Amino acid sequence: MQPSIDVSSSPADPMTPRMFRVLRNYNDTADCYTLSLQAEDGDPLLFAPGQFTMLYAFGRGEVPISISGDPSDPGTLIHTIREVGPVTQALREVKKGGLIGVRGPYGTAWPVKEAEGNDVVFVAGGIGLAPLRPALYQVLHRRSRFGKVALLYGARTPNDILYRDELEKWRSRFDMQVEVTVDRSQAGWRGHVGVVTRLISRTGFDPVNTIAMVCGPEVMMRFAVAELTGRGVAQEQIHVSLERNMKCAVGFCGHCQLGPAFICKDGPVFVFPEVKRLLSIREV
């Protein structure tokens, strides 16, 4: 009874990456860069906003990175990455024309469809803007289906602001509110200074009919939820994206567990009450 197993079928193996070629690799800020990729086999990587992939740099390893491109243009796979370790450093060094391994997409999505008919508030901290951008694109593509749209974004310093050109474009629209704040000001900065959660109180939305999508450091998300609920937004209307160091992204490795949740499969996007209790306990 020799089992019949197709050894050639690498796509069936969830641990084997597909090959993608680098179209562009450019710096956004001092420590963030954006990789624009295209599948070698020509098969676009279809994804939902909020999902992530595992990116492999030859010989260095693999890291989970949220997709930050436009879901309606899946032919070009875009990730904005912060350089924090050896793999993200190696990925930064891959030149145009070089190859990168990609597995995915994995995980849950931002509730863009569910948000139709509601006001939408995006709250982003630092690199947390990258996983939110696909949802923002989708909302703006179908702008008429939503009520008020606000993007509240906090960066460390003016030099750390991501997607500056796009932010300026979005800010010039009459159908959305864009507020940007920095933790530490620099010469020439005339904008807000302070934590992003402080912007929530100065944003116009109807709390009863609002969907909030929040992504940033865990402490920032806790404060954002407190501000939002303080304004009357129900916890069930708040969605957060969590981060852990996934090694497999398919529930095999156990690294990303948060209590009963595998962040790779059950997340990274959660409706807040699902993770509320565990986020309030230290070292879970």
Partner 1 sequence: MSAGTTTAPTYRTLTVPQLDQLLSALCKEGYLTIGPTVGDAAIVYDEIRSTKDLPRGYTDEQEAGSYRLRENAQGYFAYITPVQSAKQYLHPPRQHLWEAVKDSEGFHILPDPPANTRYAFVGLRPCELRAIEIQDRVFLTEPFVAQHYKALRQAAFLIVAQCTRAGATCFCQSMGTGPAARGGFDLALTEFPEEATFLLEIGTPRGQAIVDAIGCAEAPEEMVEQARARQSQAALQMGRRLDTEELPKQLGSSYSSGRWEQIARRCLSCGNCTMVCPTCFCTNVEDTASLTGDHAGRWQRWDSCFTSELSYIHGGVVRKSTASRYRQWLLHKLCTWHEQFGESGCVGCGRCITWCPVGIDITEEAQALRQAH
Residues in the site for partner 1, rule: CB under 8 A? 1-3, 5, 7, 10, 12-17, 19, 21, 56, 58-62, 82, 84-85, 97-99, 101, 243-245, 247-248, 250-255, 257, 259-260, 262, 281-284
Q: Nearer to partner 1 by C-beta: 84 or 208?
A: 84
C-alpha to C-alpha distances, 37 to 43, 84, 136, 141, 250, nearest whole angstrom? 12, 21, 21, 22, 22
Q: How far is the CB of 113 from partner 1 (least distance, A)?
A: 21
Q: Nearer to partner 1 by C-beta: 165 or 283?
A: 283
Length of the chain: 284
Nearest to 234 by CA among 201, 273, 204: 273
Q: How far is the CB of 14 from partner 1 (least distance, A)?
A: 5
Residue with tokens 């069936």: 12
Q: Nearer to partner 1 by C-beta: 60 or 222?
A: 60
Q: How far is the CB of 205 from partner 1 (least distance, A)?
A: 32
Q: What is d(CA 34, CA 36) in angstroms, rounded to the nearest whole number?
A: 6
C-alpha to C-alpha distances, 197 to 38, 89, 125, nearest whole angstrom? 36, 31, 9
Nearest to 134 by CA among 247, 202, 215: 215
Residue with tokens 């996007």: 269
Question: 269 and 107 in contact (C-beta within 8 Å)?
Answer: yes
Q: Nearer to partner 1 by C-beta: 186 or 245?
A: 245
Q: How far is the CB of 67 from partner 1 (least distance, A)?
A: 19
R_g of the chain computed on alpha carbons? 19
Q: Nearer to partner 1 by C-beta: 234 or 278?
A: 278
Q: What is d(CA 171, CA 179) in angstroms, rounded to the nearest whole number?
A: 8
Q: How far is the CB of 10 from partner 1 (least distance, A)?
A: 5
Q: Nearer to partner 1 by C-beta: 100 or 200?
A: 100
Q: Nearer to partner 1 by C-beta: 45 or 115?
A: 45
* Cβ-based neighbours of 132, under 8 Å, separated by 6 or more: 49, 110, 122, 124, 151, 213, 215, 241
Q: How far is the CB of 230 from partner 1 (least distance, A)?
A: 25
Q: How far is the CB of 127 from partner 1 (least distance, A)?
A: 10
